[in-house]
Structure 1
C-alpha cells in the first residue's frame, strides 16, 4: 500500500490527540486544542507553498496558485471540530486528503488554483448550532446567532474574540467570487460501501433533516400508592411513542427516525415520572416524505398524550431541505472513480456535511470512502489504507478532468 495513504492515516491519529480531554478526542468550536490543529495544518499548507490565513469564523484557509494562473479557484475541505469522545477521521481526514490532493496538483502542474479550508465548526456541539464555519464561507451566517451561549455561558461572539479573531469581519469570510466549486472528501459514516465491497462512491445528494425537541408533561406521584389507572406517567407515554416512531420509520422506504435523547424528571426509582424531555431526528432524501413523516409522528405523540391525560409541547430546532450535489461535478466524480479503476457507485448521504451549506453558494460534490463496520462518531472509527489510496487516486482524476473542462 502507498506511503501517502499510511501517512494520511497517521496524521489523522496525531491530530486526534489534540483534544480538550486527555485520553479521548473532543474538540469543540474554537476551544484551546484548535490552536494546535491550526499550527499543525498551517505547517502542512506552508510546506506546499500555500498562502495561509484564519478568517473571522476560525476557518483555517490555504491557497495554492500555480504560476500564471488566473483568480479562478476550486475549494476543497472539511471540518476539524468533533463530537464528544470522537473518532480520528470524521472531518479531519477530508482536510488531510485535500492537502494531499494539492500536492498531486502541484506534481501534475494542473492549471487551477486550489483553496483548502479546515472548517472551524460543523457538528453543532458547543452551541447547538451547526455549520458555523461553512455558513460563514457560504455567506449564510446570521449575525443574530452570535448571542447563542454554550454551557459555560460564553457566546459565539465571545468565543471568536477569545480565539483572537474579530466577529465584526465575518462577512469577509465569504468565498471568493471566482470560486468555481467545492469538493468534500469524507468517510461514509455508514455501512453501505462495506456491505457492497466498494472503496468509494460519488455522492448525489444530502438528505433533508428535521429535528424536534418535545416534552411530555404528566404528573409526578408516589410509585407505591398511585394505582395504575390513575397515573399520568410521562415516561410510559414516551416509551409508547418511541416504539411508534420506530414502527413508522420502518414502514417508509429510505426514512430514518431517531429518538436519541431522553431526560425524565424527577428521575427517582420510587417516583412516577412527571416530565420527559425527548429529541426527534427525521431524515429522508425526499423532503415531502420527510415532512409527512414528521407530521404523522407528532400526531401520534399528541394522541398518546391525550389518551393518557398528558400535555405535549414541542418545538422545531432544524428543518433543512434535501440538498442535491451538482450534476456536472457528480458526473465528473463518477468518471474519475471509473478512470481510477474502481466500480462506479453513486449514493445519497444520510448525514449532514459542510457540503450541504456550500452547495447554496457554488457547485458542490462529495466523495465518500468506506467506513469499516459502518462506525462513526465513536473512538473505534477507522479507515483502510486501500480506501484512502483510492480516494486520493479518484481525487487526482477528478481535478484533472475539472482543470481540462474550465481551461
Structure 2
C-alpha cells in the first residue's frame, strides 16, 4: 500500500522563531512534541544568543532537552502519545498531528483482522512495558509505512529489553517531531530522498536463495552483483559524470572533471566512494551510502552547470566484505597496488576459482590489467568516505553525523582448545578436562580486559563443540577471536594479554590449544587536515562536531596506505544495527550528509 505524506501546515521560518519571545516560541512549536510544551520552553532557555543557526540545530536542541530530562519526564513524554489504532483514534480524540499521521499510514482503514491484531499488540505491549508503543508511522522517508510494516515492527519490538525499548520509543518521538517540524517549515529533504530512493532501488538485486526470501545478499561477481554495477554506471551517466566505466576488478568508476580539464595544469582529483557488495542477508546502506551521496553531489553540480577547481572521482568498490573469497578489500586493494596475485587462484565454497569467475564476467583476470588500476598519489588530493555508523553511539547522542578519528586496527584468529571428552555423570568436577569451560573462561577475560581500556574491543563470535552431546564433557572447542583498537599499540597489547591468558588457562586446566591468525589490519588514523575539513562541513550545518573511532573496517583503510583519508559517519536507525535487514537511515539525516559533502567540496 502506498501512502502520501500529511499536507504541510503554514510555513514557519527560523527568523520568525528566533525573533519570538518565550511564549511565542512555545506557541509556534506547539504540537511538535505531543502535549509537551516544556520541551520547547527549555530549548528557548538554552538557545544561542544569535538564535538557532539552522533547522538541524533546532532539532538537535529539542532532542537534547529530552535526553537531559529526568527519567519520569521522558516517560511522561512517551505516555503523552496515543496508541496506534487505539481508543483515542476510535473516539476521534487524537491531536490533529496524530490524526493525520495515523490516517496517512492507513490505520483508519484497517481490516477487521488488522485492527484485532493491533488491539492485541497494544494490550500485550502495555502489559509488558507500561507505556504506549511509539512508532513514527510516516517512516524513514516521511511518506508513511504500510500497515504490515507497522504490525511487523510492533511485534518485533514487543520482545525488546525495557531500557532498549524506552530508548527506541524516544528515537521515534524525535523522528515524529522532525517530520512535524519539516511540515511547519515547509522543508522537503530532496537530496536525502534521492539517495534513499537509489538505495531502495539497488536492493531489488539479490542473489538466488536469498532474493526469494526477501533478503539482500550481493556477493562478488554474481549476476546480482553485476546488475548493481550496471545500474550504478547508468545512474552515474544520468548524473552528469564525464567518464564512467567498470574496471578490471569490477569497480564502478565515475569521474567529474575539474574546471581546467585538458589544460596543462589538469586539476588533481579528490577520490571518494565505498563498496556495493553486501554480507549475506545484509542491509541496504552499508557501503552503498558512500557511493550514492557523492553521486548526488555530482548530480547537483551538473544541474547547476558548475565545475570545481578539482576533479571528483567516485568509486563503487566491487568487494569489501570477504564473503565469497578470502580476498577482503579486493576492490580497493587494486587501487593501491596491493592486489595479491594468489587471490586469483582461490576457490569459493562451490569450487569456483576467482580467475575463472572474473573471465566469465568479462574481466581480463590478468595481473597486468589489475596492476594498471593503481592510482598515482600525486594525482589525488586525498580520499574521503561516507558510511553508515554501524553502531549505537550517534543514536544515543541524537546526532545525525559524526567525524571519524581513526579506523581501528584489528587481529583475527581461529583457535581450538583440546581436552578430554568423558562421561558427564561419572567424571568428578575436579578431574575434568573441559575444553568448552576453558574457552568460556577466555571469553570472560576478553570482555574484562578489553572493557578496561577506552576504545578497545574484543569478541569471541564463534563457538563450536565438535560432536558435542548433552551428557559428554566437551573434549574440543573451536572458537574465533576478534581484537580491535584505535592504535596498533593498544591492539597489540590486548593481543599479547589475551594470548598469554589463553596459555595460562590451558596450562592450569591440563589442556592444549592451537591458535591461527587469519587477518591483521593496521589502524588507520584520519588525516588531520581532512578530518578538520569534515568538522568544518558539519559545523556549517549548525550541528555539534562529535569525534569518534570506527570499530568496523572500511575501504578507507586500504586507501590510507597511499593517500590521506578521513571519514564521515551517518547515524543508522534501529539502534544503529548494521549487517542486518533492520539497517536503516532517514531521508533527513541523509540530506544533512549530502549537504556536509557539498560543503566539503565547496571549501576545496
Using structure 2 for the length normalisation, give the TM-score: 0.64
Aligned twin of 1:6: 193
* 1:337-391 Cα shifts (integer Å, max 9, x gaps): 1123222222221111001110111121211111221211111011122210111
Tell me, what secondary structure is at the counterpart of 1:140? coil
Tell me, what secondary structure is at the counterpart of 2:444? helix
Q: Residue 572 of structure 2: which of 366, 371, 375 is its match?
A: 371
Summarize the alignment of residues 208-247 of structure 1 with structure 2, pairs less than 5 Å apart. 208-247=409-448
User: Would you say the 8 A contact 1:255–1:284 is kept in 2?
Assistant: yes
Tell me, what secondary structure is at the counterpart of 1:260? coil
The answer to whether 1:174 aligns with 2:374 is yes
Alignment partners' CA distance in 2, 1:271 and 1:116: 56
User: Would you say the 8 A contact 1:104–1:396 is kept in 2?
Assistant: no
Using the TM superposition, give the Cα deviation of residue 103 of structure 1 relative to its aligned residue in structure 2, in angstroms: 1.6
Alignment partners' CA distance in 2, 1:401 and 1:162: 44
Using the TM superposition, give the Cα deviation of residue 68 of structure 1 relative to its aligned residue in structure 2, in angstroms: 3.7
Using the TM superposition, give the Cα deviation of residue 109 of structure 1 relative to its aligned residue in structure 2, in angstroms: 2.9
Using the TM superposition, give the Cα deviation of residue 314 of structure 1 relative to its aligned residue in structure 2, in angstroms: 0.4
Using the TM superposition, give the Cα deviation of residue 256 of structure 1 relative to its aligned residue in structure 2, in angstroms: 0.7
User: Would you say the 8 A contact 1:55–1:172 is kept in 2?
Assistant: no
Aligned twin of 2:312: 114
Alignment partners' CA distance in 2, 1:335 and 1:285: 23
Tell me, what secondary structure is at the counterpart of 2:465? strand
Using the TM superposition, give the Cα deviation of residue 145 of structure 1 relative to its aligned residue in structure 2, in angstroms: 2.6
Aligned twin of 1:405: none
Alignment partners' CA distance in 1, 2:429 and 2:539: 63
Give structure 2 stretches of 5+ with no counterpart: 1-187
> Larger % of helix: which?
2
* 1:284-329 Cα shifts (integer Å, max 9, x gaps): 1122121111111111111111222211100112222211111111
Q: Residue 247 of structure 2: which of 55, 60, 79 is its match?
A: 55
Using the TM superposition, give the Cα deviation of residue 67 of structure 1 relative to its aligned residue in structure 2, in angstroms: 5.3
User: Would you say the 8 A contact 1:233–1:273 is kept in 2?
Assistant: yes
Tell me, what secondary structure is at the counterpart of 1:144? helix
The answer to whether 1:148 aligns with 2:346 is yes
User: Would you say the 8 A contact 2:239–2:296 is kept in 1?
Assistant: no
Alignment partners' CA distance in 1, 2:451 and 2:569: 25
Aligned twin of 2:486: 285
Aligned twin of 1:31: 222
Using the TM superposition, give the Cα deviation of residue 271 of structure 1 relative to its aligned residue in structure 2, in angstroms: 3.0
Q: CA RMSD in A?
A: 1.7
Q: Residue 194 of structure 1: which of 389, 395, 398 is its match?
A: 395
Summarize the alignment of residues 1-400 of structure 1 with structure 2, pairs less than 5 Å apart. 1-20=188-207, 21-22=210-211, 23-50=214-241, 51-66=243-258, 68-69=260-261, 70-106=266-302, 107=304, 108-168=306-366, 169-177=369-377, 178-372=379-573, 373-400=575-602
Give structure 1 stretches of 5+ with no counterpart: 403-407
Using structure 1 for the length normalisation, give the TM-score: 0.94
Tell me, what secondary structure is at the counterpart of 2:284? coil
Alignment partners' CA distance in 1, 2:470 and 2:249: 46
User: Would you say the 8 A contact 1:266–1:274 is kept in 2?
Assistant: no
User: Would you say the 8 A contact 1:105–1:396 is kept in 2?
Assistant: no
Alignment partners' CA distance in 1, 2:498 and 2:356: 38
Alignment partners' CA distance in 1, 2:198 and 2:470: 47
Alignment partners' CA distance in 2, 1:347 and 1:164: 41
Alignment partners' CA distance in 1, 2:364 and 2:427: 58
Alignment partners' CA distance in 2, 1:115 and 1:286: 29
Using the TM superposition, give the Cα deviation of residue 225 of structure 1 relative to its aligned residue in structure 2, in angstroms: 4.2
Alignment partners' CA distance in 1, 2:568 and 2:454: 24
User: Would you say the 8 A contact 1:211–1:317 is kept in 2?
Assistant: yes
Alignment partners' CA distance in 2, 1:340 and 1:235: 52
Tell me, what secondary structure is at the counterpart of 1:371? coil
Deviates more, 1:225-234 or 1:319-328: 225-234
* Structure with larger RCO (C-alpha < 8 A, sep 6+): 1
Count of residue pairs the alignment pairs up: 402
Using the TM superposition, give the Cα deviation of residue 112 of structure 1 relative to its aligned residue in structure 2, in angstroms: 2.3
User: Would you say the 8 A contact 1:220–1:266 is kept in 2?
Assistant: no
Using the TM superposition, give the Cα deviation of residue 66 of structure 1 relative to its aligned residue in structure 2, in angstroms: 4.6
> Larger % of strand: which?
1
